[in-house]
Structure formats: structure tokens, C-alpha cells
Structure 1
Amino acid sequence: MDIAEIRTRNFKALIAGLESRGVTRRRDQGAKLGGFLSASYVSQLLAGKYIGDDVAKKISLAVGTDHGWMDRPHWEQDATTSISTVLETETRPGYVRFDVFEGGAGMGAGLVNQDYPEVVQTIEVAEWEVRRKLGYLPKPGRIQLITGRGPSMKPKLEDGDIIWIDTSCNYFDGDDYYLINIGGETQIKMLQKRGDGMYVVSINPDFPTYRSDEGEVSILGKALIHAGLRRF
């Protein structure tokens, strides 16, 4: 058996292990395996795309093993055991884990979908506090974190604030704050439906409100909670 097949079968075992623990979205799986694998790339690797030396090394290190782990056969183990090294950092009982959304969000001119330094990669919050704030416990991966960038939502949102996004809400759910994509840029904005259409609203008066054309705005999620680092 050549190295390509060994790596592919090991990768499939890792994904199977994650799925057995409820991590079913390709984007979330990529985040678990080092954060450098996009959802589409995970799918390509599962379909048999060759896993190069650098990628194999990064995955091996991401699961907490030596750099050659992917080059040795492990798939005969139970899928849950195969991913045990990843799960060493899994959420503790009684807590809910929120991971980072892919890419940042602009709060000014916008931020093109791209890698951007995140203030926080993951947060674990006690279940009782999540219930108190949200009224329910979300399924894994439903609510994700982003770092807001730019001045247009000040003073409600400051540059670098962390925002919880409900990714299951990809539709207009009343006047509120949303993560949207408009013109290829991802932004946090308030959406308001008025008699003549949908309006994109900034809090900062230096950024004018405008009416969007039909189909121009794609809703990626609804903003629920925000937090930031502040000096007293």
C-alpha cells in the first residue's frame, strides 16, 4: 500500500471519529484538524485528493501526535479512538463550545472573504449561562464567533469585538443585526424592512443608510451577543 492511500484512509478515519462526536459540517471538521483546511478542501481529501507532505504533517501535529502520524496505518482502530487525541481538548461536561466563523466581518467598508486575524478562536461557556442568555442550548456548530472590524457600528460594536452568530438564521427574521454578504464583502449590519425595500443600516452616523437592490444582500447569520475587551 502506498503512502497516498495510507494518508487518505487515516484522514477518513479522523473524519469518521469527528462525525461520531457530532462534528458533521466540513468547515467544523477542518477547524478541528488544525484550522487550515477549508470545507471544500476537506471534501476533496475525502474524495481521494492527494495529501501532500506538508498537509499530512500539519494534520498529524493538529491531532497532538508526531509529524509522521498520518504516514502510519491507524484506520483499523475504532473511529472514536482514532480521533481521541483531538478530543483531549474537547469541551468539558456542562459547557458549550463556540468556534470561530471562517473569515472576519467588516463594520466599515466591509472585509472581503479572506483569512483575517481573529481575536478569539474558541470560547467555552457554561450551559446554564447559555440557557440564561439564549433561552436554549444550540446544536454544535450552529452558533459561531467572528471578530468585527471597522468603525461603522460604533458605539454598539467596537473594532475587534467578538460577535456570536446564529448561522441557522440565513433569512430576514425582522429588523435586527445580521452577518451579511453584499458585493462580495462580509459585514455586520442592521437590516430594516421598510415600505420601499430592505435597508442596510450602520449605527455610526458617518456611514449613511442605503436601500439594497433585490437579491443584493445574502444573510449568513443573525447576530446574537457581542463582547469585547475594554479598559475600565
Structure 2
Amino acid sequence: MDIYEIRKHNLVKLIGSQRKGSCAERWAMAPAHLSQILSDKTAKNLGDDVARRIEEIEGLPRGWFDSIPREDVITNTDLNGFEPASEPALSAADLVKQMLAKSGKGIPEETRQRLLAAAAEPDAKEEAGDTAIVKADFIRPGLVGDEVWIAHYDVRGAMGGGEVTHEFPEMLQDVRVSPKHLRELGVEFKEHYHLKLVTGWGQSMAPTIKNRDPLIVDVSIREFAGDGIYYFSWGGHEYIKRLQIADEEYFEMISDNPKHKDRMIRREETYIQARVLLVWNAHLV
């Protein structure tokens, strides 16, 4: 499930048996907008701003819409048609006994007893609470309040001559990350839902950013906030470049690749969309 499917799941659960019209009115939404989000026939998604507004109105914690509660993770449809086992699983010793009964006629009695003893040992340790037994939890949905989804915006920023926003194939779609780990890496941000993925395109920012590297950006930063790498619009195209203030009228647009020339661009014609916080490099090894 991507971030929007998760939000739709939680939205349906939140509405429950309430009238959609009254919910839309309480959330300051047009009823048609809410219907489009809930419909399976439209591609309307529950965006960040609306999700945060509903959370605030309903007294829910920030980011509530962005993760599925553990009790909702496994359903019969998640098991590809297989029903959960109605009886407890057999122990290792029981499984060995069944195996020996079916195909162990030629096994010497001494060997038979050793197999049974070896199979019974893990069961005894588990009953005694031995910490050597590790149970894997393959359905773990993530640490509540820590692991969050970052949406991948279907745009690319040029690290060269400029790109017009359009659809193109991506290596990564929406990803799930730990905000705590991001902060440990030195990534500074206020709210996780301001973080998005975009893609760099071109060679002008190499070796810092390679062609088609996914980038984590903060879309809440819409103005120059000090020297750094920004995703911005200029002259009708999208760029990912370093920006520095040259004077009161101009930015200096800087390429890390020395083969590409830096240039001066008017500040009033530059529209910052986000600041680049982290390069998601895929280095070949």
C-alpha cells in the first residue's frame, strides 16, 4: 500500500457510520471533494494539508493518517486466499514423530531416539522462556510514531539545462523511513509530512548528486534559507542547483560539476519549491 491508500483506509475507518456530508462540513471540505477521495473510480488523494487539518479537528495525533494500526495489518485478503490456521501449530517433536511414522521404517531405534530428543530440546527451551529462541515478526507494521511514509512526487528537477515537469519511470515509489534515523544522519526538519521524494536529472551536480538520484526535500521551505541545494523554478523550468545570494537582485546558481558554468539569475524570477536535505545515492559495489 502506498501513502494514499493507507490514508484512504484510515479515512474510511474514521468516517464509519457517520454521514459523509456532516463529516465534510466539519472538516471544511466540499462534499464532492470527500466523495472523490472515497471513490474507487477517481484518482483524487487525501493530501498532506487536508490530512493534517482533519487530524487537528478530530483531536488525532499528527501523522495518524500515515500509518495503519497493527490490528488492521492482517486480514483474510492479505493472506492471498488462505485462512488463518484454526488449530495450534504442531511442535518440532510432533512434526518429527509424524515424519518417522510415515517414512522412518528403516531408521535404527537409536537414531530415532536421537532425532526425537533433538526436536524436543527447542520446545523445552521455549516453554522455559529461554531467550535463545527468537520469534520473527514478519508482519510488523513499524514503530508507531517513528516509521512514516514519504510520498514520491512525480516531478524531476534538472541538474543541467532545465526540465519541464512530466511523468517518467522511477526507481523508488513512496518509501517508509524512520524520522529518528534521518535526524541521526543530520537531516533537519520540523514535520515528517513536509518531506517528499523528487528526482535529479542530469550531470551538472555530480558528484554530489548523480543523474536520476532520488532526493529527500522539505516542501515547507519555499524561500531562500541560506546557502544550500534547492529545488526551484526559473524561466518556466525546474532546477536542482546550489543557490547563493549574489546581491540584492540576483542569486548565483551554482553547479557542483566544474564542466558546467555557474550563472546569475534574478531573485524575483526564482520560485523555490523545496530545499534538498538528503541524496538517496545508489552506489554500485
Normalising by structure 1, report the TM-score. 0.61
Cα pair distance change 1:200/1:127, threshold 3 Å? closer
| Mapped pair 1:118 → 2:170 | yes
Q: Where does the alignment leave 5 or more consecutive residues of structure 1 unmatched?
A: 1-12, 21-42, 63-79
Equivalent position to 1:220, from 248, 252, 273: 273
Native 8 Å contact 2:253 2:264 kept in 1: yes
Once the 2 structures are TM-superposed, how far is the Cα of residue 139 of structure 1 from its aligned partner? Answer: 2.7
* Letter in structure 1 aligned against 2:11: G
How far residue 225 of structure 1 moved from its aligned partner, in angstroms, is: 0.6
1:189 to 241, 245, 249: 241
- Deviation string 1:160-188 (CA, Å, 9 cap, x unpaired) is 11111011111001111000111121111
Q: Is 1:17 aligned to 2:11, yes or no?
A: yes
Give the number of equivalent residue pairs. 173
Task: Work out the CA distance in 2 between the residues paired with 1:18 and 1:154.
Answer: 45
- Structure-2 change in CA distance of 1:14 and 1:154 (3 Å): closer
Q: Identity over the aligned pairs, expressed in percent?
A: 22
Q: Does 1:205 align with 2:258?
A: yes
Q: Distance in 2 between matches of 1:18 and 1:156?
A: 43
Q: Report Cα offsets for 1:86-117 as digits up to 9, x if no partner.
A: x8599622313211123111111121011222
1:46 aligns with 2:46: no
- Greater RCO, 1 or 2 (C-alpha within 8 Å, sep 6+): 1
RMSD: 3.7
Q: 1:162 aligns with which of 214, 230, 237?
A: 214
Q: Distance in 2 between matches of 1:210 and 1:103?
A: 23
Maintained 8 Å contact 1:127/1:137: no
Contact 2:151–2:173 (CA under 8 A) maintained in structure 1? yes
Cα distance in 1 for residues equivalent to 2:198 and 2:229: 14
Partner residue in 2 for 1:10: none
Are the counterparts in 2 of residues 99 and 144 from structure 1 also a CA contact under 8 Å?
A: yes
Match of 1:69 in 2: none
Instruction: Read off the aligned partner of 1:205 and give its amino acid letter.
Output: P
User: Whole-Å Cα distance in 2 between the matches of residues 165 and 98 of structure 1?
Assistant: 10
One-letter amino acid matched to 2:33: L
**1:72-111 superposed matches below 5 A:** 92-93=142-143, 94-111=146-163
Q: Residues 194-229 of structure 1, C-alpha deviation per residue, up to 9 Å, x if partnerless?
A: 236211111122221111124111000111110221
The structural deviation recorded for 1:14 is 4.4
1:58 deviates by: 6.5
Distance in 1 (CA, whole Å) between partners of 2:32 and 2:232 is: 29
Q: Hey, what's the Cα distance between the residues in 1 that align with 2:156 and 2:10? A: 29
Q: Distance in 1 between matches of 2:192 and 2:12?
A: 12
* Bigger proportion of residues as helix: 2
Structure 2: stretches of 5+ with no match in the other structure: 1-6, 15-29, 46-63, 75-139
Larger Rg: 2
The Cα of 1:150 is off from its aligned counterpart by 0.6
Structure 1 residue 152: Cα displacement = 0.9
TM-score (normalizing by structure 2): 0.51
- Structure 2 Cα separation of the partners of residues 44 and 102 of structure 1: 27
Contact kept? 1:105, 1:188, Cα under 8 Å: yes
